[in-house]
Chain A
Amino acid sequence: MPRHQSILRHCDLTGAIDKVLAGYSYGRKSVGGLSMIQRFAAAFVLALIAALPSRAEDKLLNVYNWSDYIAPDTVKNFEAASGIKVNYDVYDANETLEAKLMAGHAGYDVVVPTAMPYLAREAAAGVFLPIDKARLKNYANLDPQILAAAANADPGNKFGVPYMWGTTGIGYNVAKVKAVLGDAAPVGSLKLLFDPANAKKLAACGIEVLDSAQELFPAALLYAGRNPLGRTDADIAKATEILTAIRPYIRKFHSSEYINDLANGDICVAFGYSGDVVQAKNRAAEAKNKVEIAYSIPTEGAMIWIDMMAIPKDAPHPGNALAWIDNILDPRVAASISNTVAYANPNEKATSLVAEAIRNDPGIYPPQEVRKRLFFDKPVTPEFERARTRAWTRIKTGS
């Protein structure tokens, strides 16, 4: 899920800029502690090594993960413990990763796509190696509920190991929403956004939603009291009707801008990813700009997303990749990542090690009764995907 600062997302799309910015922003503070030149050199050496017929696996690992999605010491500790040198690279959109994987020979050993629909359709295309669970001694730490949810996208959890998870829900500016709708504002319900009467009142102070039909259609169907995962033409028509009714009041469809806009107090309500809203909340608190942001999982229900670690079929170092994944499954490692990025990890043994403020936040670690309202997306046919994307484009452009 695109849930971070969008600068990098766009640079991945604009070729040359990518190189400049990537070198600039990652090179300076790269997690592996390498300068840009060292990184280029490393990549060059890597390419040379890859070209040679390899006998044993080299002590190298190429990790490709979301930006801002790891603890500061994760790579350092892994390198010290395993003696494996990590080249850590980041992306900012599932689409970026997918385009690389689908073109083949990306050269990465571990990637972290979102389970639905990305890992599901990438696995169907034969992109990944099956995970050799016998070699993951920490695999048993994983939460069976999350594994079961992920199995919707990845039957038998064959290709992916859950990394972090969260929900898609409502982020809002507490004071501004109260000022507009009063104390009775339905902040815990999809009505806040999908009821045109509310949306109309909130329009002036700003509404942003994810630019993602995959997230918005289920929410609209849920609001209408239908099966959120309905896949018929009638479902598309109903969702279109509901979304079209509130469209005039939506300022922007974008998958990451809302973090900044919420934090700066530029908008009132965002329909977005849990961790993003938490980031916005923390940024506002750090800036001491008197903006208070909250996240709610709607009472009607919310979709779960899970980011999955997977090993591409052409990974140069699949054995090292397994060592990395096993290291992430270590409760201490998982907890330190959650403490840094404010996302829930799927590691049951890690929960008690996570900072109290995070593990007791119901938006991040939903209690069991809230978990019952969560649901997981299921695969769609390419035809449905296209019909939905086109309906979405029509809704957005108001035609």
Chain B
Amino acid sequence: MNARRFGVVALPYAWLLLFFLVPFLIVLKISLAHEAVSIPPYTPLFDHGRLVVTGANYLFLLSDALYWRAYLGAIRYAAIATAVTLLLGYPLAYGIARAPARWRGVLLMLVILPFWTSFLIRVYAWIGLLKENGIVNHALLSLGLIDAPLRLINNDFSVILGLVYAYLPFMVLPLYAQLEKLDPALSDAAADLGARPARAFWQVTLPLSLPGIVAGVLLVFIPAVGEFVIPDLLGGPNTLMIGKILWDEFFTNRDWPVAASLAIAMLLLLALPMGLMRRFLRGVA
């Protein structure tokens, strides 16, 4: 019995250890090394039995405002995209949760359906839709709604659109899971006690769905901050996000230690506010 319980507990921990902690420690180790012209391109942790670590890479990140601006840029895009996905995803999830039971499966399937196509292909499809000679501009032109093609791509608009499109299911699914559990009788009870639908929503439904909102926000915000493909393909010259800077450090400068310290710094910068936010929202809920 004890052995079985141990196994049940140990398995997820082993998983986390193997696929989260170990890679994290490897990245941490690289971030403390010096760049080197060798394979791999950084100094070993132990040189002749002596521990070699440096904080120079982290100091370097502080020495240039570029990194800060890239972080802030990424957080700004991710925050806007998260807010929009929440505004779109909530009614969607609510609608699915309140739909007749026989429809729910189909509606949920429609939310998940885009995953059946490669993410990359779907981002490319947006290029085809939005570009100057693209489908949207063609349609608007031929309908006579505009005289000249609109600039729909390679700007902030297309980056946010891409992020919202790509991450919407990650908002809808946890929200749905939460809203589906809510007893409709609660709304009825609120109505019976004299609350108008809007008040019932604000005072009953919304607070009870907070855990779903927290999960959805985290699931969208965190990957969106580190996103590389969407800003690279849909963004323009003004799009400054940390994913691209990381790419430059790793591939163009071939400076694995600085790239690694950038990744660690991003993790810490994200984990702290995220942890605080979680605690705060848990408290509210």
| Residues of chain A whose beta carbon lies under 8 Å from any beta carbon of chain B | 6-7, 10-11, 13-14, 17, 20-21, 24, 93, 95, 98-99, 101-104, 121, 124-127, 206, 213, 247, 250-254, 261, 264-266, 382, 385-386, 389-390, 393-394, 396-399
The reply to whether B37 and A125 form a contact with Cβ atoms under 8 Å apart is yes
The reply to whether B253 and A382 form a contact with Cβ atoms under 8 Å apart is yes
Residues of B contacting A385 in the complex (Cβ-Cβ under 8 angstroms): 252-253
Does residue B69 face the partner (Cβ distance < 8 Å to A)? yes
| Residues of chain B whose beta carbon lies under 8 Å from any beta carbon of chain A | 35, 37-41, 64, 66, 69, 118-121, 124, 131-133, 154, 228-229, 232-233, 236-240, 245, 247-248, 250-256
The reply to whether A264 and B133 form a contact with Cβ atoms under 8 Å apart is yes
The reply to whether A13 and B37 form a contact with Cβ atoms under 8 Å apart is no
| Secondary structure class of chain B's binding surface, majority of residues | loop
Residues of A contacting B39 in the complex (Cβ-Cβ under 8 angstroms): 101-104, 125-127
Q: Specify which of A24, A95, A251, A266 is in contact with B251 (CB 8 Å cutoff).
A: A95
The reply to whether B66 and A390 form a contact with Cβ atoms under 8 Å apart is yes
Residues of B contacting A98 in the complex (Cβ-Cβ under 8 angstroms): 251, 254
The reply to whether B240 and A397 form a contact with Cβ atoms under 8 Å apart is yes
Closest residue of chain B to A396 (Cβ to Cβ) is B237
Q: Specify which of B64, B69, B228, B240 is in contact with A13 (CB 8 Å cutoff).
A: B228
Q: List 7 A-B contacts (CB under 8 A).
A: A10-B120, A14-B119, A121-B37, A126-B38, A389-B252, A397-B237, A397-B239
Closest residue of chain B to A11 (Cβ to Cβ) is B120
Cα–Cα distance between A265 and B67 once the two chains are bound (Å): 36
Tell me whether A251 and B40 are in contact in the complex, defined as CB-CB below 8 angstroms, given that A95-B251, A398-B238 are known contacts. no
Tell me whether A124 and B37 are in contact in the complex, defined as CB-CB below 8 angstroms, given that A14-B229, A206-B132, A266-B131 are known contacts. yes
Q: Specify which of B120, B154, B237, B252 is in contact with A247 (CB 8 Å cutoff).
A: B237
The reply to whether A398 and B66 form a contact with Cβ atoms under 8 Å apart is no
Closest residue of chain A to B131 (Cβ to Cβ) is A266
Tell me whether A10 and B251 are in contact in the complex, defined as CB-CB below 8 angstroms, given that A17-B119, A390-B64, A397-B238 are known contacts. no
Tell me whether A125 and B252 are in contact in the complex, defined as CB-CB below 8 angstroms, given that A17-B120, A266-B133 are known contacts. no
The reply to whether A102 and B40 form a contact with Cβ atoms under 8 Å apart is yes
Cα–Cα distance between A17 and B118 once the two chains are bound (Å): 7
In the A-B complex, the 9 residue pairs with the smallest Cβ-Cβ separation, listed nearest first, are A95-B251, A397-B240, A104-B39, A125-B37, A396-B237, A102-B41, A266-B132, A389-B252, A386-B253
The reply to whether B38 and A125 form a contact with Cβ atoms under 8 Å apart is yes
Residues of A contacting B38 in the complex (Cβ-Cβ under 8 angstroms): 125-126
**B67 CB to nearest chain A CB (Å):** 10
Closest residue of chain A to B258 (Cβ to Cβ) is A386
The reply to whether A103 and B228 form a contact with Cβ atoms under 8 Å apart is no
The reply to whether B133 and A265 form a contact with Cβ atoms under 8 Å apart is yes
Q: Specify which of B40, B120, B121, B124 is in contact with A103 (CB 8 Å cutoff).
A: B40
Q: Specify which of A20, A393, A399 is in contact with B245 (CB 8 Å cutoff).
A: A393
